[in-house]
Chains A and B, each alone.
Chain A
Amino acid sequence: MSQLICKDLSLGYDGKAIVKGLNFSVDAGTYLCVVGENGSGKSTLMRTLLGLQLPLHGEIITDDGLRPNEIGYLPQQTAAQKDFPASVWEVVLSGCQSGCGLRPFYNRAEKQLAVENMKKMGIEALARRCYRELSGGQQQRVLLARALNATRKMLLLDEPVAGLDPKATAEMYRTIAALNREGITIIMISHDLSAAIAYASHVLHIGKTLFFGSKQEYLQSDIGFAASEGDEPNA
């Protein structure tokens, strides 16, 4: 059973397609890495999967008990957040908003969930700190904890290691892999091919040629070989 199925998807803006004829499906527990050149449509795919923009053609089906608003999302940072006065606790808790409906305040269960997810990300000591004063790696953990409050099923990560130093990058990848082992489906956009492939189970390559398949198939295919040339994935 697939959680997410994309059928003959065309993506783009103002009627101009960047990507055409995209077909893939994501099963529960998959670790899918989306790779491709800059401008090939990776972020557009992400926005479309999240329902922030409509596909030009084709359809996205969510199945296997996944509702469209149960997809957690780790965005790239926006400029507004850089000077936003908010404590870590406020940011993490805001991930519970989707479950609130019209209820104005967070209930005890939601606060408990936020505490647990902060522990899981190792940031409970930062709860009262100001979000904008944290390091890049810490900020990503805060946003990841927020995303976990919104979903138990699927996470979309948009360049999760962009701007992180090598140590924080390695930690981030380990954390994501650990979440995947707990059964959360991961869809990650990355242009860090070698590290991404070390952890992913499936690869979607967007560009002039499209490829979707398991990591082994990708590495044996021409496009995967060309893209990963010089890298020695350790899996």
Chain B
Amino acid sequence: MLEKLSLYLQYPFVQYALIVGVLTALCSSLLGVTLVLKRFSFIGDGLSHVAFGAMSLASVLNLTNNMPLVLIVTIICAILLLRTGQNAKIKGDAAVAMISVSALAIGYLLMNLFASSSNLSGDVCSTLFGATSILTLQPSEVWLCVGLSLVVVAVFVLFYNKIFCITFDEAFARATGTRTNLYNLLIAVIIAVIIVLAMNLVGSLLISALVIFPAMCAMRVFKSFRAVTVCSAIVSVTCALLGILIAILAGTPVGSTIVAVDLVAFAIFSLAGMIFGGRKG
């Protein structure tokens, strides 16, 4: 088995998949705690459907590199969703549900009407579940992914204290002069970037798992924001690596294998949390 693995690791497409997988997992885990605690997890889910719609649009337009278009559309939707969440004319979750199902429906409709390839259901399936796209990455996509990941990590580190502040108590932060609207906007943009990154790895239906599972794992055991953040990053990267390797060896779909590994990790952490009573720093 190790021989088989080392043979596979020599192929560039496997190396690309591992690089992109690790970086994406790292990024997606960082904001997980914030999303879960700010009750934003459904926004991540909604945005992933938007990204699917944008992806279909890109494939209908026959774009060679669809990432920029998907990225822009998703960022715009993230900002819109956040705005509707603030003024309560349409309730936040209803707005998210409307936008996400519309994007899903229009995406599928577009693909049906202007099918550019003969294998339509295969295309749809790979966009939804990321079936093979991570193993067919082009070098340019890998570089874009590396660049975006670095930006996400840098922004997160630089704004770590501010993100903590507005996650823990937004009213206090605003009252004492922190520009919460600006930082909420920043969080929305980062979420959008993460989702577009994660599309390649697990496909648009399974993205939420990548964002939420590591944070939930870490929150079972650790009790400080920093420990939870570090732990969820480690969990996420480990699960992604394991998932990709298992998928390559066993020939299973990459995205669902990673999510399955995440699920196992969550079970282990829940158990650990119960046994140790979670009395760690």
Question: Residues of A at under 8 Å CB distance from B?
Answer: 47, 50-52, 68-73, 75, 78, 80-81, 83-87, 89-91, 93-95, 97-98, 100, 104-106, 128-130, 132-133, 146-147, 150-151
Contact A128 B281 (CB under 8 A): yes
A-B contact pairs, 18 of them (CB 8 A): A73-B175, A78-B171, A85-B219, A85-B225, A86-B164, A86-B168, A86-B224, A90-B164, A94-B161, A97-B161, A98-B176, A100-B161, A104-B159, A104-B160, A105-B161, A128-B281, A129-B223, A150-B172
Residues of B within 8 A of A47 (CB): 171
How many Å lie between the Cα of A104 and that of B165 in the bound state?
Answer: 12
Rounded to whole angstroms, the CA-CA distance of A202 and B158 in the bound complex is: 44
Contacts of A90 on B, CB cut-off 8 Å?
Answer: 164, 224-226
In the assembled complex, the Cα of A51 lies from the Cα of B171 at a distance in Å of: 10
**Nearest-CB distance from A146 to chain B (Å)?**
7
- State which residues 161-175 of B face A: CB under 8 Å: 161-162, 164-165, 167-169, 171-175
Partner of A51, one of B160, B174, B226: B174
Q: Is B135 an interface residue (CB 8 A)?
A: no
B174 touches A52 (CB 8 A): yes
Compute how far the CA of A98 lies from the CA of B176 in the bound complex, rounded to whole angstroms: 6
User: In the complex the two chains form, what is the Cα distance from A68 to B164 in whole Å?
Assistant: 22
**A133 and B223 contact, CB distance less than 8 A:** yes
Q: Of residues 13 to 63 in B, which have CB atoms within 8 Å of A's CB atoms?
A: 33, 37-39
Q: A84, A93, A100 — which one has the most chain B CB atoms within 10 A of its CB?
A: A84
Nearest A residue (CB) for B281: A128
B interface size (C-beta, 8 A): 33
Residue B251 is within 8 A (CB to CB) of chain A in the complex: no
Interface residues of B (CB under 8 A from A): 33, 37-39, 157-162, 164-165, 167-169, 171-178, 218-219, 222-228, 281
Question: CA separation between A90 and B173, bound complex, in Å?
Answer: 14
Is the Cβ of B176 less than 8 Å from the Cβ of A87? no
Q: How far is the CA of A95 from the CA of B218 in the complex (A)?
A: 25
B169 contacts A130, CB within 8 Å? no
Bound CA span A94–B46, Å: 31
Residue of A nearest to B39 (CB): A80
Using A71-B176, A87-B225, A133-B223 as known contacts, say yes or no to A94 and B37 having CB atoms under 8 A apart: no
User: Are A84 and B168 touching (Cβ within 8 A)?
Assistant: yes
How many contacts between A and B, using CB within 8 angstroms?
Answer: 103
- Min CB gap A73→B, angstroms: 5
**Closest Cβ of chain B: how far from A128's Cβ, in Å?**
6
Smallest CB-CB separation from A100: which chain B residue?
B161
CB-CB under 8 A from B39, the residues of chain A are 80
Q: Is B176 touching A150 in the complex (CB atoms < 8 A)?
A: yes
Contacts A85-B225, A104-B158, A128-B281 known; A73 to B37 CB distance under 8 Å?
no
Contact B172 A146 (CB under 8 A): yes
Residues of B within 8 A of A106 (CB): 161
Which chain A residues border B176 with CB–CB below 8 Å? 69-73, 95, 97-98, 150-151
Q: Give the contacting residue for B172; candidates A75, A83, A128, A129; CB below 8 A.
A: A75
B175 touches A69 (CB 8 A): yes
User: Besides A94-B165, A97-B176, A151-B176, 18 other CB < 8 A contacts?
Assistant: A51-B175, A52-B174, A69-B175, A73-B175, A85-B33, A85-B224, A86-B164, A89-B224, A91-B168, A95-B172, A97-B178, A98-B178, A104-B159, A104-B160, A104-B161, A104-B162, A106-B161, A130-B223
- Indicate if the CB atoms of B165 and A97 lie closer than 8 Å: yes
Q: How far is the CA of A83 from the CA of B215 in the complex (A)?
A: 13
Contact A130 B37 (CB under 8 A): no
A147→B176 CA distance, assembly (Å)? 9
In contact, A80 and B38 (Cβ under 8 angstroms): yes
Which of B161, B172, B174 has the most chain A CB within a 10 Å cutoff?
Answer: B172
Per the bound structure, the CA–CA distance linking A165 and B208 in Å amounts to: 42
How many angstroms between the C-alpha atoms of A83 and B223 in the bound complex? Answer: 10
Alpha-carbon distance between A47 and B206 when the two chains are bound, in angstroms: 40
Q: CB distance A87 to B224 under 8 Å?
A: yes
Contact B161 A50 (CB under 8 A): no
Separation of A116 and B167 alpha carbons in the complex (Å): 25
Minimum CB–CB distance for B212 against chain A, Å: 14
* Residues of B contacting A75 in the complex (Cβ-Cβ under 8 angstroms): 169, 171-172
A76 to chain B: closest residue by CB: B171
Per CB-CB distance, the 9 closest pairs between chain A and chain B, nearest first, are A69-B177, A130-B223, A87-B224, A98-B176, A50-B175, A104-B158, A150-B176, A98-B177, A97-B165
Contacts of A78 in B (CB 8 A): 169, 171
Known: A94-B165, A97-B178. A87 touches B172 (CB 8 A): no
